[in-house]
A = this chain, B = another copy of it.
Amino acid sequence: MQFHLNGVRTGDPDLFEQDPKATAVADTHALPDTVDVLIVGCGPAGLTLAAQLAAFPDITTRIVDQKPGPLQLGQADGVACRTMEMFHAFGFCERVMREAYWVNETSFWKPDSERPEKIARSGRVQDVEDGLSEFPHVILNQARVHDFYLDVMRKAPNRLEPDYSRRLVDLEVGAAAEDDFPVTVRLERTDAGHEGEVEIVRARYVVGCDGARSSVRKSLGRELRGDSANQAWGVMDVLAVTDFPDIRLKTLVQSAGEGSILVIPREGGYLVRIYVELDKLSENERVASRNITVDHLIAATQRILRPYSFDVKEVAWWSVYEIGQRLCDRFDDVAEPEAETRTPRVFIAGDACHTHSPKAGQGMNVSMQDAFNLGWKLAHVLQGRSGPELLHSYSAERQAIAAELIDFDREWARMLSAPLKSDANPDGVDPAEVQTYFVRHGRYTAGTAARYRPSELTGGSEHQHLAKGLEIGMRFHSAPAIRLADAKPVHLGHTIKADGRWRIFAFADADEPAAENSAINRICTFLGQSPHSPVRKYTAAGADVDAVIDVRAVFQQGHRDLDLEAMPGLLLPAKGCYGLYDYEKMFCPDLTGGKDIFDMRRIDRKRGCMVVVRPDQYIAHVLPLDAHDALAAFFDGFMLERG
């Protein structure tokens, strides 16, 4: 963590100084007439976006929800490795790791081959392959994830708090004049003493994070399309006494005749979530019509787990739902033919644009990544760093990711609901096939397989060979390094905070970096001094040199073999009101293990390279160290010069 730059402030370093322009949100309990961004819905997507925007004191954000207060229990709980990486950027991954259940292994049970009325363990696999991420795959009550985001918002310069008990009545997008608030939103209060009061808020942008039945989506005339949902499932969080030995492992149990359950152990060491396969539904039948109770779920679990006992002592939460895979064809308010003439003003994210089964643990994760993708883009446009055309990329990038998710989930849900293969059922699913599918898609479910296609934000692959392990369009895969100035072992990727900044990681070639003509010295000179440098062009006068683009270098020499004082000035920048040096821009390989960061990420040691990383941790480009013009051209593609 870095703090004290502009003078020593005591107390919690996560608590930012309150911005004097920011109204004390928690005190007002009334929505302002105009806001830059109105977020509808306090789920994972809405809170990710709110936490991101709360970091910018020059952007006015409000987030509303129709519920009367924060979520307490239930719903999603899977937190993929990729999400933990994002949580690190928001500063609370340590808290999640401490509280959560860690999914270390997954176990598979099927009918015993001798006595198929009993189940037997058929396999046990490592849940996340080694080296996929520095973070574990964990399970934590969604409400706690909300708590952590609310804490970030509360401590942010804007001191943002949700406005609860607001129901969206309608939303209208008017013609947008410059500097105007073209989206008009009507909200009805539902809190005691204010019932029925209607507030009108005019916003520059509105984001619907309001779930599968999204009012925002409906107001755009968009709908979720996809498979009809004819398979009912139940889910319950319970405290239970059982002799089933794998109750503390993520476990798929497929019984011979009673269906399947998925066991997800939960945080705290005692609680467990069970997903239970229920009946096939008729076409157009809704599960609600079945009058299923939690006792049905418990009885089904008991039958499936035979010969093991399962004695439920407390039900903390339960629900029934139908599985379907449904997707919206665009995630904003711009219809295909308008895309050339109009930029989006209203967006939808999370369950509002894609719904699917919960059993791959993807929903909350993909929803938060939607919002993380959108957050910095909204900030760039509102801060004048980019033109509003940038906002087209949100739907383009995230709709493609959601389509992949829908395809994956359709197959996974089919496998989990299909009858088992047997002599009587030759077309059924083989449990071994299920296990193989699970392992093969491990990177996908970890959230690390998402890849954005080439665009103005995602460069071409001409130079990908310089860093084969840092793939363009995919998330920056962190690796350990040693910080030069203080010899601290760190993860290079952990320098990326959720602060809306771009990063350029310059991986040096093998030359002495201090030499005047070294490639590192030349790229630093270009970035620091050339009028074509994106660092110079896009950073406001008076701002810290790394305020928009944060340049860091990784050398090949050991950290005791380099002279800090001889390094390029751009890598030891003077910052803040006192001109204090920032000592955290230079890194060396950790030579104590076998493989160092250059080996792990397969970086060309002879040539080095530059890796350009977006504010949402995705790799935008890989370029040679001497590709000064190409680097400038990349940023010129979507950024606006400061006036």
B8 lies within 8 A of A486 (CB): no
A486 lies within 8 A of B99 (CB): no
Interface centre among A11, A248, A269, A565 (most CB of B within 10 A): A269
**In-complex Cβ contact of A486 among B3, B101, B486, B584 (8 A):** B101
A148 to chain B, nearest CB (A): 10
B147 lies within 8 A of A13 (CB): no
A4 lies within 8 A of B102 (CB): no
- Chain B residues with CB under 8 A of A141: 10
**In-complex Cβ contact of A239 among B12, B240, B313, B580 (8 A):** B580
- Chain B residues with CB under 8 A of A241: 574, 578-581
B245 lies within 8 A of A13 (CB): no
A218 to B576, CA, bound (A): 49
A511 at the interface (CB under 8 A from B): no
Interface size on A, residues (CB 8 A): 62
A271 to B565, CA, bound (A): 19
User: Which chain B residue has the least Cβ–Cβ distance from A250?
Assistant: B486
A176 at the interface (CB under 8 A from B): no
A112 to chain B, nearest CB (A): 16
| Copies of chain A in the complex | 2
User: Which chain B residue has the least Cβ–Cβ distance from A126?
Assistant: B487
A489 at the interface (CB under 8 A from B): yes
- Chain B residues with CB under 8 A of A487: 104-105, 249
A488 at the interface (CB under 8 A from B): yes
A265 at the interface (CB under 8 A from B): yes
A270 to B572, CA, bound (A): 12
Interface centre among A72, A147, A314, A487 (most CB of B within 10 A): A487
User: Which chain B residue has the least Cβ–Cβ distance from A563?
Assistant: B245
A305 to chain B, nearest CB (A): 13
Q: Within residues 171 to 190 of chain A, which ones have a CB less than 8 A from any CB in chain B?
A: none
Summarize A's interface: helix, strand, loop or mixed. Answer: loop
User: Which chain B residue has the least Cβ–Cβ distance from A566?
Assistant: B245
A400 to chain B, nearest CB (A): 35
A243 at the interface (CB under 8 A from B): yes
- Chain B residues with CB under 8 A of A270: 2-5, 576, 580
**In-complex Cβ contact of A245 among B11, B97, B564 (8 A):** B564
A459 to B547, CA, bound (A): 60
A193 at the interface (CB under 8 A from B): no
- Chain B residues with CB under 8 A of A581: 241
A102 lies within 8 A of B249 (CB): no
A431 to chain B, nearest CB (A): 19
B104 lies within 8 A of A268 (CB): no
A314 lies within 8 A of B7 (CB): yes
**In-complex Cβ contact of A237 among B8, B143, B564, B584 (8 A):** B8
- Chain B residues with CB under 8 A of A576: 270
A104 to B481, CA, bound (A): 13
A290 at the interface (CB under 8 A from B): no
- Chain B residues with CB under 8 A of A486: 101-102, 104-105, 248-249, 265
A595 at the interface (CB under 8 A from B): no
A10 lies within 8 A of B72 (CB): yes
B239 lies within 8 A of A2 (CB): no
- Chain B residues with CB under 8 A of A249: 485-487
A496 to chain B, nearest CB (A): 16
A1 and B99 in contact (CB under 8 A), knowing A104-B486, A143-B10, A241-B574?
yes
A91 to chain B, nearest CB (A): 8
A606 at the interface (CB under 8 A from B): no
A490 to chain B, nearest CB (A): 9
- Chain B residues with CB under 8 A of A13: 99, 267-268
A94 at the interface (CB under 8 A from B): yes
Q: Within residues 137 to 151 of chain A, which ones have a CB less than 8 A from any CB in chain B?
A: 141, 143, 147
A141 to B485, CA, bound (A): 21
Q: Mark A67-84, 1 if CB is under 8 A from B, else 0.
A: 000001100000000000
User: Which chain B residue has the least Cβ–Cβ distance from A317?
Assistant: B8
A124 at the interface (CB under 8 A from B): yes
- Chain B residues with CB under 8 A of A237: 8
Chain A interfacial positions (CB closer than 8 Å to B):
1-5, 7-8, 10-13, 72-73, 94-95, 97-99, 101-102, 104-105, 124, 141, 143, 147, 237, 239-241, 243, 245, 247-249, 265, 267-271, 313-314, 316, 485-489, 560, 563-565, 574, 576, 578-584
23 inter-chain pairs at a CB distance below 8 angstroms, sorted by A residue, are A2-B269, A2-B270, A3-B268, A4-B267, A4-B269, A5-B270, A8-B239, A10-B73, A11-B72, A13-B99, A94-B98, A102-B488, A104-B487, A124-B560, A239-B578, A243-B565, A245-B564, A247-B485, A248-B485, A248-B583, A249-B486, A270-B576, A313-B578
Known: A10-B143, A269-B582. 4 other contacts (CB 8 A): A2-B270, A4-B239, A245-B565, A247-B485
